[in-house]
Structure 1
Amino acid sequence: MPRAEPAVPVRMRRVAVVAPEKALRESLVRIAEAGCVEIDLAGDGRPEVRRPAATRLRRLRTELEQPLLSEASPDLDALEREGRTDLLAGEAQLEERLGSAVRHGEAAALAGWCPEAEVGATAARIAGAGGALVVLRAPRGVDPPTLLTGADTGPPARPARTVRRSFTPLVSTYGTVPYADLDPTLPAGIVYTVMFGVMFGDAGHGLLLVALALLLRAGRPRRLAALRPLWPFVSGAGLAAIMAGVAYGEFFGPTGVLPVLWLAPLEEPMRLLAAAVLLGAVLLAFAYAAGIVNRWREGGPASALFATTGVAGAALYLGLAAVAGCVWFGRPAYAAAGAVIAVVGLTLVAAGLYATTAGGPGGVVQTGIQLLDAVVRIGSNVVSFARLAAFGLTHAALGAIVWDGTTALAGRGPVGVAAALVVFLAGNALTFALEALVAAVQALRLEYYELFSRLFEGEGRPFRPWHLPVEPAEPIEGLAADAGPPASGETAAGQIARLGPAREEHS
């Protein structure tokens, strides 16, 4: 049975690349080729280092190509004469890291971060060059960089990872998840597609989205090839629209092709509105639950208890929701229990907010204003989910207008049938384009403002590994016979260094 994907960012380890000075370059070349280590660069305050490759690159003053590293130490003058800006740019990056190394005697070291799962393979890779990858204790007060499970650059090993990777832009566009927090990628993607489907509920339009997703998967059209990794996201949105359309009885409008299994939006708008608000209330409850976990992981039990996005805020929300629910269903006697929970939550929120002020009367006033804002925000956040029903009704209304126009023209002879076909196709194309855009934007708005605002209180730092392709070194003529078979893992650069005396004899 395949192991489930973790619900937290990829675990990082603090590492140091240690190598003799003579082997440092080749070790870094192998690090760049692996592309799984983020190396700390020298910050401000250190003396400026003259870097020959960067100087030559500035002199060329031409458009830069994709950086590329040479496996063996190149002749910079020859690269400048040949206009090899790709190799010069790669060498400039290498020089920057060489200049950031800490040296002691003949040894040099560079600190950085590496995913825990890649430490062993990376250590074995640079061991062949004479270097070592040493695991260090993470420094206090410094959070590791964040790499979400679906955002890694390797090929997805399982369908679940392919889906997760397609949802990653939904989270990364909002911000970088703090390293200590839960990874919300998969649930955020599922919630987004569900909200999109409720607003875009038409089985015919959903089928068009699925067809578009299959075209993206096939790399068509070529101009949109960069969007190919998003095809599971688009297909999920299409499937959600199909299911909502089946429930609404909508297939390119109220054509009668599908029976109404749940409700017809235009006939029961209040029922759809109540369902949308209820769905929003449930999603907010899950967001508070995830927020409690994040506050605990970030700052411990005190942070989880008193934060407005922790236990205190969740109690206030649940208490107010219980009061509203009891009143709505005509059970005011049970509202007292909800009121008690709300008061407890309000007290905890007030204590947490007051602790962040300077105290005194000014702190009391500031706390009161923030408490009022918290209560009003809870109500507005719940009501905001009514837009799921509002835009679902808009979609259904546009579909009904197109279908009414089509049926009215179809009964007026051959010309009317042709005109009806044009109205049906053009009307559905316009409805599809307009409503897809509106539903996509509104679902994003609900995800970010109502849900993510409870999950995150800060932002992390993205993991940026150093990765450059490596150009193999050309074999030196006349050395092949002397070299013998290369050692395991030995590069051309290492072979040349080992055969220095032999090269002198040949010359």
Structure 2
Amino acid sequence: MLRAEAVPVRMRRVALMAPESALRESLVRVAEAGCVEIDLPGDGGPDVRGPAAARLQRLRTEPVRPALSAAPPELDALEREGRADLLAGEAQLEERLGSAVRHGEVAALAGWCPEAEVAATAARLAGAGAALVPLRSPRGVDPPTLLAGAGSASPARPGSTVRRSFTPLVSTYGTVPYADLDPTVAAGIVYVVMFGLMFGDAGHGLLLVGLALLLRAGRPRRAAALRPLWPFVAAAGLAATLAGVAYGEFFGPTGVLPVLWLSPLEEPMRLLACAVGLGAVLLAAAYGAGIANRWREGGFAAALYATTGIAGATLYLGLAVVAGYVWLGGAAYGVAGAVIVGVGLSLAGARLYATTTGGPGGAVQTGVQLFDVVVRIGSNVVSFARLAAFGLTHAALGAIVWDGTTALAGRGPAGVAAASLVFLVGNALTFALEALVAGVQALRLEFYELFSRLFVGEGRPFRPWRLPVERLPSPSGTKAAVGPAR
């Protein structure tokens, strides 16, 4: 059984049922809890605006963060006071009130809620005389996706800091389908390893770690929005530092560190072979995850024939065996590889041909698609050579800066000053340029070579209705309340 962290948060279909007289208070509690996504009509019908929406439109204000009043407010008073935030919240409330299905004195709304939050939300609603009823998921409708690292729907249960910092790697690519595995942690680890190989310099890596600590401290203030990413930046810096120690690079080949593994400038072919080998392993892992995803999405048949499933993995294995035959020799390797490639092509071809109109045209189309699959596998493996290429570029730039520094340092006091300037400016430029290049190239490898095998579709993100609630003074001078906050 998969651990909970390896899949999106489990969702439950729920219905909010409340007496008509308590529906507003129930919805206020739902908004305050912030862990229920309520279905809204999307039929493209006429835009029917309620009283709050009409008043909000008359204010013609800039976009504001909506909020809700715990008790029904006087809309005219809100308009006079310019409380666009409360009017915006009331407009959202009106939309949900209008979406309710009514039968006699009872109103109901359907939606989605994380399974772990159902009991607590139901207890919160019980105080208003409402109920949150679990339902069977509708057939053919996938639940919305909430990744564990994106933070819980409930503020009381935040996701781990490290996992949350890795989440943008996945969410930038797209929304993980609900049935698929959640690759957040694995994607983060793979990214920082690839980044470190390309940005391998212990001095530059430690600077990146220092930058991460500044982000954690909220400095500079203009970058406060990036504070949640500090573990990701720190991990990338640590990976670059370890790679720099292995390369013997500390602000270039300064001799401060001995070479523990290899020097990129002296052994480029060895670095290239290691980069391609690492890429081959990562592609194999991506095929394994792709098989699991296809199986979870459509069962064994979907996993068997997909080019990102068993068929594609078999073809990849066969080509790897053929490559071993070319490299090592041995007729047995060549025969075994050819047989495995034939099995993979047959499985993938059967699926691809089934999607065509059939006949000779369909056969030609299938052949072209299979050729493209084979070429893509080869090009994807070779694409990982960029790990070595950009690691070599980083080392070359560091060497140029260090050679310029040492050449100037022996020319008296003026030479020492010039050498210091070259060292500082050169390393600053190298750090900025290579951090950008390595970051983009690692992202490109993850998206095009790895994620393209994990995902064949996109899910729908979970968007709970969450608004802050204000207790405005009631006409009697007391403050309205909607019950405890859990």
Which range, TM-score by smaller chain? over 0.9
**Please, which moves more after superposition, 64-73 or 95-104?**
64-73
**Equivalents in 2 of 1:288, 1:245: separation in Å?**
31
**Equivalents in 1 of 2:81, 2:477: separation in Å?**
25
- What is aligned with 1:467? 466
**Equivalents in 2 of 1:196, 1:354: separation in Å?**
40
- What is aligned with 1:128? 127
- What is aligned with 1:285? 284
Amino acid in the other structure paired with 1:236: A
**Equivalents in 2 of 1:227, 1:156: separation in Å?**
22
**Equivalents in 2 of 1:142, 1:387: separation in Å?**
41
Question: Match of 2:241, SS?
Answer: helix
**TM-superposition CA deviations, 1:291-311 (whole Å, max 9, x none):** 000000001100000000000
Identical columns (%): 80
**TM-superposition CA deviations, 1:328-367 (whole Å, max 9, x none):** 1344542221221111111111111111112111211110
**Equivalents in 1 of 2:60, 2:46: separation in Å?**
25
Cα pair distance change 1:155/1:103, threshold 3 Å: closer
Determine which of 475, 481, 485 is the counterpart of 1:492.
481
Q: Is the 8 A contact 1:217 1:228 kept in 2?
A: yes
**Please, which moves more after superposition, 436-445 or 42-51?**
42-51
- What is aligned with 1:214? 213
**Equivalents in 2 of 1:9, 1:493: separation in Å?**
32
Q: Is the 8 A contact 1:49 1:99 kept in 2?
A: no
Cα pair distance change 1:441/1:428, threshold 3 Å: same
**Equivalents in 1 of 2:44, 2:475: separation in Å?**
42
Does residue 37 of the first structure (1) align with residue 54 of the second (2)?
Answer: no
Q: Is the 8 A contact 2:67 2:86 kept in 1?
A: yes
Does residue 194 of the first structure (1) align with residue 193 of the second (2)?
Answer: yes
Amino acid in the other structure paired with 1:335: G
Amino acid in the other structure paired with 1:367: T
How far the C-alpha of 1:5 sits from its partner, in A, is 5.2
**Please, which moves more after superposition, 177-186 or 59-68?**
59-68
TM-score with structure 1 setting the length: 0.92
Number of aligned residues: 482
Amino acid in the other structure paired with 1:171: V
- What is aligned with 2:412? 413
Question: Match of 2:13, SS?
Answer: strand
Q: Is the 8 A contact 1:475 1:492 kept in 2?
A: no
Amino acid in the other structure paired with 1:457: V
Question: Match of 2:396, SS?
Answer: helix
Q: Is the 8 A contact 1:248 1:260 kept in 2?
A: yes
**TM-superposition CA deviations, 1:242-261 (whole Å, max 9, x none):** 11111111000001111111
Ranges in structure 2 where 5+ consecutive residues have no aligned partner: none
**TM-superposition CA deviations, 1:410-466 (whole Å, max 9, x none):** 111111111111100100000000000000000000000000000000000000000
Cα pair distance change 1:331/1:408, threshold 3 Å: farther
Cα pair distance change 1:494/1:307, threshold 3 Å: closer
- What is aligned with 1:181? 180
**Equivalents in 2 of 1:324, 1:156: separation in Å?**
53
Question: Match of 1:141, SS?
Answer: coil
Q: CA RMSD in A?
A: 1.8
**Equivalents in 2 of 1:455, 1:296: separation in Å?**
12
**Equivalents in 2 of 1:378, 1:478: separation in Å?**
72
Cα pair distance change 1:442/1:73, threshold 3 Å: same
Cα pair distance change 1:439/1:119, threshold 3 Å: same
TM-score with structure 2 setting the length: 0.96
Cα pair distance change 1:50/1:165, threshold 3 Å: closer
**Equivalents in 2 of 1:433, 1:50: separation in Å?**
51
- What is aligned with 1:350? 349
**Equivalents in 2 of 1:383, 1:23: separation in Å?**
63
**TM-superposition CA deviations, 1:284-328 (whole Å, max 9, x none):** 000000000000000110000000000000000011011102321
Question: Match of 1:277, SS?
Answer: helix
Question: Match of 2:160, SS?
Answer: helix
**Equivalents in 1 of 2:123, 2:46: separation in Å?**
33
Amino acid in the other structure paired with 1:357: T
How far the C-alpha of 1:46 sits from its partner, in A, is 5.5
Question: Match of 1:461, SS?
Answer: coil
**Equivalents in 2 of 1:419, 1:156: separation in Å?**
56
**TM-superposition CA deviations, 1:207-229 (whole Å, max 9, x none):** 00000000001110000010010
- What is aligned with 2:106? 107
**Equivalents in 2 of 1:406, 1:180: separation in Å?**
56
Question: Match of 1:300, SS?
Answer: helix
Amino acid in the other structure paired with 2:338: A
**TM-superposition CA deviations, 1:73-107 (whole Å, max 9, x none):** 01111111111111110000000000000011010
How far the C-alpha of 1:142 sits from its partner, in A, is 0.4
1:297-336 alignment, distance < 5 Å: 297-336=296-335
